[in-house]
Structure 1
Amino acid sequence: WPGAESVLSLDMLAPVVVAADDWVFTSGYTLSYPKSRDALTDWIEALPADTPLVLDPTPVITDIPHPILSRILARTTWLSCNTTEAAAIAGPGAVETLASRLLSDHSPKAVGVVIRAGAKGCHVRLADGSAQTIAGFEVAALDTNGAGDTHIGAFVSALARGMPPFAAAHYANAAAAIAVTRHGGSSAPTDHEIQTFLSHGGPQIGLHGQKQEAKRPTA
């Protein structure tokens, strides 16, 4: 249910100080709220040019007015969405086509895009044209609530620590795999738990459903 984030104003955002090494994340939910989206969009556009912005359009993407979404996408550094959300922005197509279209037609200043596919992993495409499909992990899922949030948080934390994008996506896939084995939305694992999970290896599930041997992708 909407809370304080549904009634944002520029005066409320003014005390938020962004440091040189900070990352900014915004959710499609906040952008969908009529009493928040204009102020948040203005605040984002006023950020320093070198401040990375991460966008998750979320399942309410169709509730975000097109002009607002276009302005945010134009400022986005990393876009992380699921396959349904990607298609809502870029139209139908294979995941590789969607990723390319998202960057060239919608987020021209972005470093890259991540298209999540649940247990099957994610597809990552960078602005330089390089791309990899990073397989997910086979686990006994109990509750998928919060898996996407965990994936984005782990991915950004890895990037912020200097991890290359494809390796960061592998790390994020592991974090999401751990999260779905726990009940509740607040189930993100610690770095130690993720590293322990990765050190044990295990079967991975690719975007097309096939099992693969677990291995760390190259950068």
Structure 2
Amino acid sequence: MSGRLVLAGNVIADVVIEVPALPERGGDVIGTHTGTTAGGGFNTLVAARRLGTEAVFAGPHGTGPHGDLVRAALAAEHVTTLLAPRTDGDTGFTVALVDGEGERTFVTSFGVEATLTRADTDVLAARLRPGDLLQLSGYALVLPGNGPLLADLTASLPAGVTVCFDPAPLVADIPGTVLAPVLARTDWLSANAREARLLTGLGDPRAAVTALRDRLAPGAGAVVRADKDGCWLAPPGEPPVHVPGFPVDAVDSNGAGDAHVGAFLALIGQGHDPVTAASGANAAAAYAVARRGPATAPDRRALAEFLDGDPLARRLFGTGDR
């Protein structure tokens, strides 16, 4: 029986606007396509849930159009919410400008998710179960009110809860008083190459993943995601290894890191060894980038079909498990 993936972070609305190019300062440009979807930690929860792991959103969500959108999207993916809707404001949103070369530029306006309370973290602490995986994101830790509360919560967790930390792009802005207790309690850290460099000062992913693991408690492990090159894995107590990726024609990289994190944690929670979980996460991320749109992580059948003929399929699913 696998544990739940519980996200103590943010699920917000993503307003995506495709533009030929970014406007000059003070200028304007006409968008060619616009859409609004659930974003933030939503993609991580979905990636885990589609692989058969129970997923729970444990962050604040508001009352208004964005909160309604988030709850509907979570319900559609069979992800449950832990906290009741807040009546003092709406869920926040990110405006993502996607230029003609596919580069994304973001502006985020936080809502009630930026106003976590001690009562919220008390509810979360009381509802966590032995075997759960608690997912923390740098996006939540960087917020002035949320970060200290989440750091206190993390430091107080019993050993039966696995703490997973994704530093996110704003990791350099997380106060040391918040980051230190989180790292001290982290069991698995997953970062992309840039985040790993910011945390360690090292540009070589093999050296960075080792340095990251060395910042954690004994028995913890680290992953450095390397996009099409797969990832570097430093399992607990073992030498770092390169886990190859799966070549695909990438058409949309948005959410690939979230798909990797969600799949890796789901597979770890289901009892797979770290190398198998990392390889499965590489496959899930490759599947996701080959498809356009948000939350494109595969379910078990789709991932098994993607891996058809690869020995990894048997290690993950066994004979005939689709």
Q: TM-score range by the shorter chain?
A: 0.7 to 0.9
Which digits, 9 at most, give the CA deviation of each residue in 1:71-130, with x for residues without a partner? 1111100000011111111112422211221122x1123521000011110000122123
What count of residue pairs does the alignment treat as equivalent? 204
Report if aligned partners of 1:9, 1:39 keep a CA contact under 8 Å in 2.
yes
1:49 matches 2:159: yes
1:122 matches 2:252: no
**What is residue 156 of structure 1 aligned with on the other side?**
265
User: Aligned partners of 1:178 and 1:147: how far apart in 2?
Assistant: 9
Query: What letter matches 1:10 in structure 2?
Result: R
**What is residue 123 of structure 2 aligned with on the other side?**
15
Report if aligned partners of 1:54, 1:79 keep a CA contact under 8 Å in 2.
yes
Query: TM-score scaled by structure 1?
Result: 0.87
Q: Which is richer in helix?
A: 1
Q: Which has the larger radius of gyration?
A: 2
Matched-pair identity in %: 35
Residue correspondence of structure 1 range 195-214 to structure 2 within 5 A? 195-201=304-310
Residue correspondence of structure 1 range 1-219 to structure 2 within 5 A? 1=108, 2-16=110-124, 17-104=127-214, 106-201=215-310, 216=312
3-state SS of 1:176 partner: helix
User: Aligned partners of 2:218 and 2:164: how far apart in 1?
Assistant: 12
Report if aligned partners of 2:131, 2:160 keep a CA contact under 8 Å in 1.
no
**What is residue 207 of structure 1 aligned with on the other side?**
none
3-state SS of 2:232 partner: strand
Where in structure 1 do 4 or more consecutive aligned residues deviate above 6 Å? none
- The gaps in structure 1 that reach 5 residues or longer are 202-214
Q: Structure 2 vs 1, CA of residues 64 and 194 (structure 1 numbering), >3 Å: closer, same or farther? A: same
User: Aligned partners of 2:131 and 2:293: how far apart in 1?
Assistant: 31
Higher RCO structure (Cα 8 Å, ≥6 apart): 2
Distance apart, 1:21 and its partner CA? 1.9
User: Aligned partners of 1:153 and 1:134: how far apart in 2?
Assistant: 17
3-state SS of 2:307 partner: helix
RMSD of Structure 2 on Structure 1 (CA): 1.8
Report if aligned partners of 1:75, 1:109 keep a CA contact under 8 Å in 2.
no
Query: What letter matches 2:271 in structure 1?
Result: G
Question: 165-174 or 62-71: which moved more?
Answer: 62-71
Which digits, 9 at most, give the CA deviation of each residue in 1:125-182, with x for residues without a partner? 1221232201111111111111101101000110111111001101000100111122
